[in-house]
Amino acid sequence: MATSFSHTRAGWVLNGRKQWISLRGWDKNSPVLLFLAGGPGGTQMAAVRHELEEMEKHFVVVNWDQPGSGKSYYAEKTKDITVQTYIQDGYALTEYLKDRFSLDKIYLLGESWGSALGIFLVDKYPKSYHALIGAGQMVDFAETERIDYAKALEIAQSKNDAALMKRLIANGEPPYYGKNVTWKSAVYLNYLSAYMAGNPQIHNPGYSTLRDIASPFY
């Protein structure tokens, strides 16, 4: 049996931006799977260590704190980060992984925003990837926000949650713009997350805040 390995690369530079990646697996000769976290601005290095542990038997699982998230928070000034920043750095990381493991192609697994980033990467650099696996696949960002908002309002009405309805109606239907985007979106997103977490049929929401904060990665 191959010996498992784990490595966190501190301060790897992608296009002049210092960023963090982790590599885990049982066999360095396995195919490489690059996980693209959600967000933008999400960091899932700690969560993925647990949720994708089984896949380490079959792949070299690579996790990446994208610019503006986690340990790569200061990789670039937030105001200067664009979609192109993620595409450029994602491709630079892909080329590094191909070179390090002597491969022609790697696999991509993208969650939420990461699923959209994965589409952008395979569309622009199709020869670099075997396949893209999309989880919580993003297609139409604005429409997704409107659907989430409507669902939260529907649930709040069914529960006679007057306080939540008042906040949603005051904010209006998304998409939002300006400085308060995150806080306005959080009203319906956190409400939906709590609703799902309360569903007894959902045994694993994929996150454990205390566990992830206490992770040796951070």
- Residue that wins the pLDDT comparison between 216 and 181: 181
Q: Are residues 23 and 128 located together in one domain of the fold? A: yes
pTM score, whole prediction:
0.85
Its domain, for residue 176, covers 141-197
Residue 35, strand partner residues: 63, 109
Domain count, the chain: 2
Write down the pLDDT at residue 179: 82
- Based on the domain organization, do 130 and 164 belong to the same domain? no
pLDDT for residue 9: 53
Q: Quick one: pLDDT at residue 122? A: 98
Q: What is the DSSP string of 24-74?
A: EES-TTSPEEEEE-STTT---HHHHHHHTGGGGGTSEEEEEE-TTSGGGGG
pLDDT at 205 over 70: no
Residue 160 has pLDDT above 70, yes or no: yes
Cα 171 to Cα 125: distance, rounded to the nearest angstrom: 40
Q: What is the mean pLDDT of residues 54-58?
A: 94
The per-residue pLDDT for range 63-86, each reduced to its tens digit, is 999 999 988 989 999 899 999 999
pLDDT, position 2: 45
